[in-house]
Amino acid sequence: MLDGAGASARGVYTGDYILEVDQVRKEFPGVVALDDVQLRIRPGSVHALMGENGAGKSTLMKIIAGVYSPDRGEVRFAGEKLEIRTPLDALNSGIAMIHQELNLMNTMTVAENIWIGREPKNALGLIDHAEMARMTQALFDDLKIRLDPQAMVGDLTVAQKQMVEIAKAVSFKSDVLIMDEPTSAITETEVEHLFAIIRDLREKGVGIVYITHKMNELFEIADELTVFRDGKYIDTVAAQDVTRDQIIKMMVGREITDMFPKIDCEIGETILQVRNLTLPGVFHDVSFDLRRGEILGVAGLVGSGRSNVAEAVFGVRPATSGEIRIDGEKVDITAPPVAMQHGMAFLTEDRKETGCFLNLDCIENIQVALLSSGKVDNRGFVNQREVNRLAEEYAAKLRVKTPNLAETVANLSGGNQQKLLIARWLLTKPRILILDEPTRGIDVGAKAEIHRLITQLAAEGVAILMISSELPEVLGMSDRIMVMHEGHVSGFLDRAEADQVRVMELAAK
């Protein structure tokens, strides 16, 4: 009965709404996360939930999944009030969830991960591994996923892990499937695959809640959409009745006219020259120039080596051959401190893993690069007053929203965390700024602000290397675009000649 993917074990619910959230309120100390919100999901439809970071989407999903309990209001499932106390309750009630973060056990196999807690047993009551593998294969066949059920999850790519998460959620045969930004870590091909799975589930009567920041996905897959803003319910509309601009207006409460406000500025002399940079098996013969005031966009699919080149230039994982010149002089960048001495700064792709100190406060997060650059201390002693002043100045400049800078960074929204990380690097007054996915997973308002800031920095003469998976961002912000494909530079495009099609041609070849 657990074979394959498909419709609910409970049969298709015939009422109007399979899941109803009514007047739900949730407060945390000092913040109202949800203020009497509502959400109604029809069976057999894809319902997008939109809102800036901090709008309360994740909190609501955690209430539905039983992680939090609401202060007021109720959640009804198939017309009945839902009493969910644990994530297991939610699964048993027919609600499955794909979380934004991966929740897999790296040291176990794909099959073990999917069926954990539900393992098929043989006559002796021991786990039947053969049956488990067969069930996994059946599930994968149904979803057209090509993965070995016996593979170690730790050996998979992030995108493959995401597919395992999706398969696992589908395997519960739930009536409601919640997906929290399922495409943030996967490539175009896999997004198509995911959408095919979603359409299939929709046909089988599953109600799908789809949380995303990406507008084009929304119009491709969603039937209806609900917008939250600052913990409040704004509206529910049919996807075909609204335009992109209307949705943005609902989300931010104001019009954002220019998403990519690149201003033309004077491009100066070449400051960074990279020649034939190679890290065997990762990237080969990468060469490019970067000039003062220039934004060089780097496009390419996930896994094309974009981030690795950035890491090599900054010395995180140096290349084995090739050369890097700064102001015409050959430099040997063996580690990040060396890169920083040459005026480089590097905003990493993964905010949580390599960016933030989540358990430390804002000041401690902002000051670290400045401290390691050794510019503000007196024989090792830190002038904390001066550091605090600078941190406050930049937090204000970047409009970081936090009650105060003593707040633990884990409590900030993704956009604000990103602004703190940018502030961290701006404090070191870099001449060369490397940005790896500067606006990944952050909301529209913060995105526009970060774009404005990047342009501003370029205008001040900073040379910027910007990697991004979002084509509109690369096209909108860059003076030139370098496209990478499978570890090689497949071409450069000038701002004037670049468009979506040409970049994709070079990126996918």
Partner 1 sequence: MATQNMNFDRAAPRALRKLPSEINILLVLVGIALVFEILGWIFQGQTFLGNINRLKIMILQVSVIGIIAVGVTQVIISGGIDLSSGSIVGAVAMVSMSFAQTAEYARAVYPALTDMPVIVPVLIGLACGAIAGFINGWLIAYTKIPPFIATLGMMVAARGLAKWYTKGQPISFPTDSFAFLGSGMMPVLIFLLVAVIFHVAMKYTRYGKFTYAIGANPQAARVSGIDVERHLVKLYIVAGTLAALAGIVVAARGQTAQAGMGMMYELDAIAMAVIGGTSLAGGRGSILGTSIGMVIFGVIISGFTFLRLDAYYQEMIKGAIIVAAVVADTYRQKKRVKKA
Nearer residue to partner 1 within complex by CB, 324 or 507? 324
3-state secondary structure of 250: helix
Q: For residue 164, give the nearest of 220, 120, 213, 106 by alpha carbon.
A: 106
**Is residue 331 within 8 Å of 338, Cβ to Cβ?**
yes
How far is the C-alpha of 356 from the C-alpha of 362, rounded, in Å?
A: 9
Least distance from partner 1 to the Cβ atom of residue 98, Å:
15
Least distance from partner 1 to the Cβ atom of residue 67, Å:
8
Least distance from partner 1 to the Cβ atom of residue 412, Å:
10
Nearer residue to partner 1 within complex by CB, 138 or 256? 256
Q: Can residue 59 be called a binding residue for partner 1 (CB under 8 A)?
A: yes
**Cβ atoms within 10 Å, residue 352:** 12
Nearer residue to partner 1 within complex by CB, 202 or 424? 424
Q: Can residue 140 be called a binding residue for partner 1 (CB under 8 A)?
A: no
Nearer residue to partner 1 within complex by CB, 171 or 367? 367
- Show Cβ contacts of residue 202 under 8 Å, excluding neighbours closer than 6 positions: 44, 45, 46, 208
Exposure string over 183-201, b if 16+ CB within 10 A, otherwise e? bbbbbeebbebbeebbebb
Which ranges constitute the DSSP H helices of 326-412? Answer: 336-341, 362-373, 384-397
Nearer residue to partner 1 within complex by CB, 302 or 368? 368
3-state secondary structure of 361: strand
Nearer residue to partner 1 within complex by CB, 136 or 428? 428
* Interactions with partner 1, residue window 472-491 (CB under 8 A): none
Q: Can residue 469 be called a binding residue for partner 1 (CB under 8 A)?
A: no
Contact residue for partner 1 among 42, 47, 57, 62 (CB under 8 A): 62
* Interactions with partner 1, residue window 111-130 (CB under 8 A): none
* Interactions with partner 1, residue window 338-397 (CB under 8 A): 339-340, 346, 348, 353-361, 363-364, 367-369, 371-374, 377, 380-382, 384, 388, 392-393, 396-397
Q: Can residue 58 be called a binding residue for partner 1 (CB under 8 A)?
A: yes
Least distance from partner 1 to the Cβ atom of residue 432, Å:
14
**Nearest 10 degrees: Cα torsion 148, 149, 150, 155:** 60
* Interactions with partner 1, residue window 243-302 (CB under 8 A): none
DSSP 213: S
Least distance from partner 1 to the Cβ atom of residue 363, Å:
7
* Interactions with partner 1, residue window 403-462 (CB under 8 A): 403-406, 408, 410-411, 424, 452-453, 456
Q: Can residue 337 be called a binding residue for partner 1 (CB under 8 A)?
A: yes
Expressed in percent and rounded to 5, the helix, strand and coil fractions of the chain are 35, 25, 40
- Show Cβ contacts of residue 180 under 8 Å, excluding neighbours closer than 6 positions: 57, 58, 61, 97, 98, 99, 100, 211
Least distance from partner 1 to the Cβ atom of residue 378, Å:
10
Least distance from partner 1 to the Cβ atom of residue 19, Å:
22
**CA distances in angstroms from 317 to 45, 245, 329, 342, 489, listed in the order given:** 46, 41, 21, 17, 19
Q: What are phi and psi of 154, to 5 degrees?
A: -60, -25
DSSP 263: P
Contact residue for partner 1 among 151, 316, 331, 504 (CB under 8 A): 316
Q: Is 275 exposed, middle or buried (0-12, 13-18, 19+ CB in 10 A)?
A: middle
Tokens 């050996």 sit at which residue?
A: 155
CA 416, distance to chain mean position in Å, is 14
Least distance from partner 1 to the Cβ atom of residue 446, Å:
14
Nearer residue to partner 1 within complex by CB, 105 or 406? 406
Least distance from partner 1 to the Cβ atom of residue 369, Å:
5
How far is the C-alpha of 357 from the C-alpha of 437, rounded, in Å?
A: 18
Nearer residue to partner 1 within complex by CB, 129 or 232? 232
Least distance from partner 1 to the Cβ atom of residue 213, Å:
18
How many residues interact with partner 1 (rule CB under 8 A)? 57
Nearer residue to partner 1 within complex by CB, 73 or 491? 73
* Interactions with partner 1, residue window 29-48 (CB under 8 A): 29, 31, 33
How far is the C-alpha of 481 from the C-alpha of 475, rounded, in Å?
A: 8
- Of the candidate spans 28-36, 140-148, 178-186, 321-329, the one that interacts with partner 1 by CB under 8 A turns out to be 28-36
How far is the C-alpha of 373 from the C-alpha of 151, rounded, in Å?
A: 43
Least distance from partner 1 to the Cβ atom of residue 34, Å:
11
- Of the candidate spans 155-163, 270-278, 329-337, 481-489, the one that interacts with partner 1 by CB under 8 A turns out to be 329-337
CA 177, distance to chain mean position in Å, is 20
Least distance from partner 1 to the Cβ atom of residue 421, Å:
9
Nearer residue to partner 1 within complex by CB, 32 or 237? 32
- Show Cβ contacts of residue 379 under 8 Å, excluding neighbours closer than 6 positions: none
**Interacting residue ranges for partner 1, rule: CB under 8 A:** 28-29, 31, 33, 58-59, 62, 67, 314, 316, 335-337, 339-340, 346, 348, 353-361, 363-364, 367-369, 371-374, 377, 380-382, 384, 388, 392-393, 396-397, 399, 403-406, 408, 410-411, 424, 452-453, 456
